[in-house]
Structure 1
Amino acid sequence: MSILEAVIIAIVEGLTEFIPVSSTGHMIIASAIMGINKDEFTKLFEVCIQLGAILAVVVLYWKKFFDFTRLQFYIRLIFAVLPALILGYLLGDYIDAALENPMVVAIMLVLGGIVLLFVDKWFNKPEIDSEEKISYFQAIRIGLFQCLALLPGVSRSAATIIGGMQQKMTRSAAAEFSFFLAVPTMAAATGYKILKHHELLTSNPDNWKLLAIGNVVAFIVAMLAIKFFIGALKKYGFKMWGYYRIVVGLIIIGVLAAGYTLEV
C-alpha cells in the first residue's frame, strides 16, 4: 500500500463512517479498484483507521465523553457494545472471509438500501429525544442491532440508528447515540486487530506510518462529515441514502456479473 492509496481509503472512511451507506463496504470497493484488497495489511488498515474517524466524535462531543459525573452514560455504552464484541470475537474468521468478497458488499448495499426507503415510515412516532432517557435494556437492544453491521455492506451507523429509532428515539437522538457507541466499538475492534496481526506492523515499520496517516486523514474528514450528516438526517431522513445504496450496489453487481474484478 502506498501513501496515496492510504490517503484515498482514509478519505472514503471519513466521508462514509457516519452516513448509513457502509464505510467498510466502500473501503472494500475502493481497495478492490486499486488492486490492494487481497493484501493482509489492507484488511488491518481498513479496520484500524475507523478509530481515527470515530475519535472525531470524542472531540465534537467531548463534554459528554469526559463528564465523569454521568456514570449512567458510560454504563449504557458498555451494555450496548457487549453484543457486537462477543459476536465479533466468535465469528471473526467468517467476518474476515466476507470482507474479501465485493459481491457480498454489493448485495448488502442493495438490501440495506431497500430497508432505508421505508425506515422513516416504520418508526415515525418517536418519544425519546435524548440518550439519557433510554434504559439499560434498550441500550442492549440497540447493541443487538449493531451486530448486523458485522456483515460488510450493512452499515454500522444505519443499524444502530435504526435500532435507536425502533426503541422510540428521534432520528437525531438515535444518530448521536450511534456516534457514542462507535467509540468503544471501534476502539475494541482496532485493539483486537492490532494484537492479532501485530506481525504485519513489526515486520514493516512503514506500516505504522501508513496507519498514522490514515487515522489523521480519516479524523479530519470525519469532523466535517458528522455535522453534515446530522443536518441532512434531520431534514431529509433516510430515503436519499437508500436510493444511493441501491444504485451503487446495482452498479457493482453489474460490473462483477460482467466478469470484471474491480481491480485496475
Structure 2
Amino acid sequence: MDWVYAIVYGIVEGITEFLPISSTGHLILTGNLMGVPWSKEVKDAFEVVIQGGAILSVLVYYWRDFLKIRHLGHDRSQQTLWTGVLVATIPAVVLGLAFGDLIQAVLFKPSVVAWALIVGGILMWLIESRRVQPHVQAIEAIGVRRSLMIGVLQCLALVWPGFSRSASSILGGMALGLDRPTATKFSFYLGVPTLGGAALLNLIKERELIFGEIGLLNVVLGAGVSFVVAYLAIGWLLRFVSTNNFKGFAVYRVAVGVLILVLIATGVMSNGSLA
C-alpha cells in the first residue's frame, strides 16, 4: 500500500502547497483519515521531501522568467527582483534554524493547526473586505524593503503551524499594496529557496530513514505526482486570482479547521504532538 499512500500524499501536497489553505493541515487530515502506518519521523520527512516536486513545478512553469537570471549582471529590474527574493528568504531561514525544533515540539498539534486555519481564514476575509486599491502590479516593482516585509510576514506560517506559507506571503503582499496576481506570483518565487532548501536538506539528512521504510521508487512517485498536480494548481490559481478574490478560500479554511476540531472532540483524531 505504500505506493497508494505516496500517490495520495503527492496529490494533496500538489494541490495545497501553493493555494492559501495550508498543506500542513491537509496532510495531517490525510495521514489520520487514511491511517498511514508509517512512523511519525518518516511521515514528517516524506512530506517535506515531496515539496521538492511542487517546487520543481514552479521552476518549470516559469522557466522563461528564471532564464532571465542570465542577465542579472546588467538588468536592474532582475537585480531588484532577486535581491528581494533573497532578502525575503532570510527571516524564515534564521527563525527556522534557531527555533524550528522548539516550535515543532511545542506547537505542532492538530488543534493548533486547526485554529491557524480558522484565524487565517477570518483574516483573509477581512483583508479582502477592506481591500485598498493595489499599486504594485509587477514582481520587478515590489522592491527590497517591501520584499523583506513579506518575508517577515511569511514567518507567521513557521511560528504558527497550519497558517500556510502561501496565505501569509500572499495576504502580506496584498496588505502592502500588491495586486492579487503579483502577490501570488511572488509567493511562488519565494517558495523556491524557502521550500526547495528545506526539501533538499531533509532529503540529505533523512535519506536512509525515508528510503529504508518507504523505498526510493515511492519517494520518486510521491514527488512526481506532487510536481504534476502542483503545476496544474499554479496555472489554475493564476487564472482564478485574475478575476476572483480569496473569500472562497477563507470560508474553506474555516470549514477545514472546524472539521479538525470536531474530529479531535469526537476522538477520531488524536491531539497529540505531531513533532
TM over 0.5: yes
The residue number in structure 1 matching 2:185 is: 176
In the TM superposition, 1:198-237 aligns within 5 A as 198-201=207-210, 204=212, 206-237=214-245
Change (3 A) 1:220 1:99: farther
In the TM superposition, 1:16-55 aligns within 5 A as 16-36=16-36, 38-55=39-56
User: Does the aligned pair in 2 maintain the 1:38–1:100 contact within 8 Å?
Assistant: no
CA-to-aligned-CA distance 1:194-219 (integer Å, 9 cap, x gap): 233344146x1753322211111001
The residue number in structure 2 matching 1:192 is: 201
Identity within the alignment, %: 39
Cα offset, 1:5, TM superposition: 0.5
Larger displacement relative to structure 2 (143-152 or 206-215): 206-215
The residue number in structure 2 matching 1:60 is: 61
Cα offset, 1:76, TM superposition: 1.5
Cα offset, 1:98, TM superposition: 5.8
Larger displacement relative to structure 2 (35-44 or 74-83): 35-44
Larger displacement relative to structure 2 (238-247 or 25-34): 25-34
CA distance in 2 between counterparts of 1:236 and 1:254 reads 30
Letter matched to residue 209 of structure 1: L
User: Does the aligned pair in 2 maintain the 1:53–1:219 contact within 8 Å?
Assistant: yes
In the TM superposition, 1:100-111 aligns within 5 A as 101-111=109-119
Secondary structure at 1:91 match in 2 = helix
User: Does the aligned pair in 1 maintain the 2:114–2:162 contact within 8 Å?
Assistant: yes
The residue number in structure 2 matching 1:119 is: 127
The residue number in structure 1 matching 2:176 is: 167
Change (3 A) 1:94 1:35: farther
User: Does the aligned pair in 2 maintain the 1:117–1:239 contact within 8 Å?
Assistant: yes
User: Does the aligned pair in 1 maintain the 2:45–2:210 contact within 8 Å?
Assistant: no
CA distance in 2 between counterparts of 1:38 and 1:196 reads 16
CA-to-aligned-CA distance 1:150-201 (integer Å, 9 cap, x gap): 1321111111011111221111101000001111111111122223334414
Change (3 A) 1:98 1:228: farther
Cα offset, 1:260, TM superposition: 1.9
Q: How many residues align?
A: 262
Q: TM-score, normalization: structure 2?
A: 0.89
Secondary structure at 1:21 match in 2 = coil
CA distance in 2 between counterparts of 1:160 and 1:109 reads 15
Q: 137, 149, 156: which is aligned to 2:165? A: 156
CA distance in 2 between counterparts of 1:246 and 1:217 reads 27
Larger displacement relative to structure 2 (35-44 or 75-84): 35-44
Unaligned runs of 5+ in 1: none
In the TM superposition, 1:6-21 aligns within 5 A as 6-21=6-21
Change (3 A) 1:46 1:205: closer
Q: TM-score, normalization: structure 1?
A: 0.92
Change (3 A) 1:98 1:223: farther
Letter matched to residue 9 of structure 1: Y
CA distance in 2 between counterparts of 1:191 and 1:175 reads 24
CA distance in 2 between counterparts of 1:123 and 1:130 reads 18
Q: Does 1:97 align with 2:105?
A: yes
